[in-house]
Structure 1
Amino acid sequence: MLLKRGVVAALAAAVGATGCSDDAPTTCPIGDRARPLEIVAVHWPAGGAVEDLVDGGAVELVRPIQGGKVVYVGVRARNVDGCNVQLTAALRDPATQQVIALEQRPVRLVDGGDGWGRAESTFD
């Protein structure tokens, strides 16, 4: 099943005081923090590689082994502290703009070798 990417309307990353575990570094700079923050929304199709979200494109609705339906979304970012990122995503009804689902969690971004930070789980 596919959803329009525009439905994943409110995917954002905000730098906040979420912190890392006690044994993790207190800062994890990715890029140049003096430059403007750059964020690109991404998704993981079932069995595929991470892809950038494109406004109006399709996103696969996945049925994970634990049941239900999910959309795997995230960000790649640079010029950010990768240890202190709070990721918030909202799924909206395209007709009414009403929020259908809202998810928020702290994530740790690590440099993917190309200057962009990605969630650690991207590399698993």
Structure 2
Amino acid sequence: MFTRETAAEGVEQALKLLEGRWKLVILFHLFGGQILRFSDLERAIPAVSQKMLIQQLRQMESDGIVRRIVHHQVPPKVEYCLTDWGQALCPALDALLTWAARREEMTAAGPAPSA
């Protein structure tokens, strides 16, 4: 059973796993069972530097969100996909996106009348 404090701490810790300029973008590229090579991710996210992409992927791998698949061949081939736990983020992020869109709709409709 969660208390208000432990619930807040749990959500904070979950959000810390997603901190990072490119982590959410990477996640959305990998959702749906996508398996992408490193070079595919580089092309899909042109604004990210190679160093930052590597760093973000390594953090996500160590957190158990992303799986790195190394094919020992010449030239080397490295692919990335989401773990089952990483894929399980999809409904939560979809709900957050829907929640944010509702805020935009409310803002566009104008201020609520005061009582």
The answer to which structure has the higher helix fraction is 2
User: Structures share a fold, TM > 0.5?
Assistant: no
Query: Which protein has the bigger strand share?
Result: 1
**Higher RCO, Cα 8 Å, sep 6+:** 1
TM norm structure 1: 0.22
Greater Cα radius of gyration, structure 1 or 2: 2
